[in-house]
Amino acid sequence: MKNNVNDFLKQLNKEQHDAVVHNDGPVMVIAGAGSGKTRVLTYRIAYLLSKGVDPFNILALTFTNKAAREMKDRVINLIGDGEARNVWMGTFHSVFAKILRIEGHLLGYPSNYTIYDSTDSKRLIRNIISDMNLDNKLYSRSFVANRISMAKSSLISTTDYANDPDIQSADESSQKPLIKDIYTSYQARLRRADAMDFDDLLFNTYMLFSGFPKALYSYQQKFKYILVDEYQDTNHAQYLIIKKLAANNEFICVVGDDAQSIYGFRGANISNILNFKSDYPDFSLFKLEQNYRSTKTIVNAANKVITYNKDQIKKTVWTDNHSGDLIGTIKAKSDNEEGRLVAESIFEKKMNKQLTNNMFTVLYRTNAQSRSIEEALRQKNIPYRIYGGLSFYSRKEIKDLLSYFRLVINQNDEDALLRIINVPPKGIGKTTIEKVVVAADLHGVNMWEIISNPLNFGVDINSGTQAKLRNFCIMIRSFIVENKTKDAFEIAVHIANSSGLLKSLRDEDTPEGVSRVENIEELLNGMKEFTEKAIEKSDGDLSIKKTLNEFMEDVALLTDADNDDDDKDKVSLMTIHASKGLEFPHVFIVGLEENLFPSIQSISTRSELEEERRLFYVALTRAMETVTLSHAETRYRWGNFTFTEPSRFLDEIDDSLIDRPKPVMFNTSQKSSPSISNLSNHGNFKKRNLKPLTISGVNSSADSSNTNNLQEGMSVEHANFGRGKVVAVEGNGPNKKATVFFDSVGNKNLLLRFAKLKIIS
């Protein structure tokens, strides 16, 4: 154990300490913004482990992979990685996906089922809408996908959906009576492909625990200690699954803040946290009310705003931080002027206080508001990044290569097959593909079976096309064989080359083609890092391999919050929803106008308005040092010029805490913007350097300890395997390997830069 339990408990304040060490029954921790919520969760896990709790009996659920990694790293720092490595810790989706890999056969799924991300799901829905000859404007794939997602989150099956009169009445009123048929076809296509979408991971886990009592009981016995992060964001399915798992032991600890419940549009139900006391009458409540993030002014302003909400768990957040500046305001004549004034303010703060770009963020209610901000920042030569833009893993060339990976893992994955059967071009045309699809539907078999034996199913194609399909199948089967012995990186490189995908991109010989090749190379870099991390953690043991299946599961379960950007020094632009969980020294909240924020779509009921107010509360509490609120007197909406009025939220802040709008006197006639070269001196426009990569491997270096001169016959010592004798040494530089015979485990093949061998003679 790395630290004594009493040592790390001393790092907590009284409320945090009490929440961590309470060891009797259900616990709810209400954690105000910036109050150390993650610290309580991680210290509670570390405390349980220090008391001898088996790590395999602990389940910790989060909403992002980033949060799960942060929690695990903190636990490791507290007590070492021996026990922490075995805690079941991850997102709801990743943990339930793992359970379904083990138990999915009970529901009729193979262990290698495919996970469809939102892009895959929408593509499948688009194809179904097209096959049904429906108007794709009336039945937009985004609307249908959201409708199906909300049904699954509410545990409404296709049959329940079709038979529910209220649901059918709502669909008929919106002139979309055939959503029930799209939903039914969508689920049938998923099942035929041995695939699940994100919502199925929750839906099917609930079905597993509801329909198979023995499976439920085994996991109730396994997960004796359950911890849930951001409990206010759980939906109906997540709530019921947690309740089932905790039913026997009731040793459940939920952490959250009802004041930050902002995902009702995704199905999150604030009642889950508000009614925790009803579910567990003997629960213990702990409130974390000391804010370590923000100034007194920001904390007091947020406290005042949230008092206008009726449905809440009362708490008073406070801070020992300094008072700080009053909350600033900008009143603009138009949305374009709002963007210009925000950019001017960022520029002046940067110059006056010698700040960097990444200390600023601009938050808005809707993505469309970013346009005027972007234009103004570009005019001031201020670099920025937009959260929620096109994800790296959503780019075409990346999706193409990932589809090859998916098909190698699961030949029943029809979406992957359709995507890459003619990518790069192989002369397999649209007509042939349509014949294959028709034959698959007619015979009730998978498309892979059809293209493997087209004549057996009466597919009318010529001998040339038969040969092309045969060559494609032979190629995929060769990849399947190679995948059995290669790690994720090795098979990925092989597929990228042998499929012809990399060559076709290089042959484009255009700037776009070069960029696409760089994206493929960056993906391979990431896969190399993915595989080497496993070797590094095992102290160089090359028998530890990360498979393509494991990599694809990681990719499928990524969330927007997990995306990163190598060039850090940029102003961040994002919706308020995307900002949750983040913090910035200087925050601008734009568009504080009635019918925009609060949204016109969210003010018809008190519950909707209260969620909008919680969204404003979240925006305020992202700030550490300063907050600036802006609004425009006029704004273009749907192409129309409209007059606006300031948001009611502005009036809910005490006058003593805010500098009310005054005429803003920027000298806009003076060309005061510095040159790009001058801005570079302040850390702007850093050039992104991709890691160098050749298709045979990634350049890397590492400390080889004292093993540079390692030779056959030498005696060595390994941290895990003990003493051994070197049998053979091969390779050079970072790829140098050694075969060592250890008395404890026999021969081990080790990568020396990670092996931490010590020569003892």
| Residue 754 φ/ψ, nearest 5 degrees | -110, -10
Rounded to whole angstroms, the maximal C-alpha distance in the chain is 84
Residue 694 to residue 422: CA distance in whole angstroms = 26
Catalytic residue among 435, 622, 736, 748: 622
Report the 10 Å Cβ neighbour count for 346.
26
Among 120, 197, 229, 536, which one carries the catalytic annotation? 229
- Integer Cα distance of 761 and 755 in angstroms: 17
Burial 121-131 (b: 16+ CB within 10 A, else e): bbbbbbbbbee
- The first and second tokens of residue 499, run together, are 């499929």
Interstrand relation of 634-637 and 623-632 (parallel, antiparallel or unpaired) = unpaired
Spot the catalytic one: 2, 18, 38, 569: 38
| Residue in 691, 700, 694 with CA at minimum distance from that of residue 502 | 694
Strand 584-589 relative to strand 360-364: parallel, antiparallel, unpaired? parallel
Kindly state the helix (H) or strand (E) to which residue 476 belongs, with its residue range.
helix 463-483
Active site residue 221: no
Helix (H) or strand (E) holding 635: strand 634-637
The span from the CA of 18 to the CA of 9, in Å, is 10
Give whole-number Cα distances, 446 to 105, 188, 273, 423, in Å.
Answer: 19, 12, 44, 20
Q: Which of 601, 629, 597, 628 is nearest to 615 (CA)?
A: 597
Alpha carbon dihedral 102, 103, 109, 110, in 10-degree steps, equals 30
Q: Let me know if 14 is a catalytic residue.
A: no
Is 344 catalytic? The answer is: no
Q: How much is the CA Rg of the chain, to the nearest whole Å?
A: 28
CA proximity to 526, closest of 406, 398, 397: 398
Q: Of 260, 295, 312, 628, which one is the catalytic site residue?
A: 260
What secondary structure letter does DSSP report for 104? G
Nearest to 627 by CA among 316, 348, 345, 290: 345
37 catalytic? Reply is yes
Q: Which of 696, 345, 656, 317 is nearest to 494 (CA)?
A: 696
Task: Find, among 175, 166, 187, 164, the residue nearest to 139 by Cα.
Answer: 175
State the CB neighbour count (10 A cutoff) for residue 417.
Answer: 23
378 among known catalytic residues: no
213-222 vs 198-211: helix axis angle to the nearest 10?
100
Query: Of all helices (H) and strands (E), which one includes residue 631?
Result: strand 623-632
CA–CA dist 577, 651 (Å, integer): 22
Phi-psi domain of 685 (left: phi exceeds 0; alpha: psi -120 through 50; beta: other):
left
Three-state secondary-structure class, residue 30: strand
**Could you give the 3-state DSSP secondary structure of residue 738?**
strand
Query: What phi, psi does 372 have (nearest 5°)?
Result: -65, -35
Residue 282 known to be catalytic: no
Question: Residues 120, 230, 338, 344: which is the catalytic one?
Answer: 230
Is the omega angle on the peptide bond into residue 598 within 30 degrees of 0, that is, cis?
yes
Q: Where are the beta strands (DSSP E) in 112-198?
A: 114-116, 195-197
Residue 247, classed as helix, strand or coil, is: coil
The catalytic site residues sit at 37-38, 229-230, 260, 622
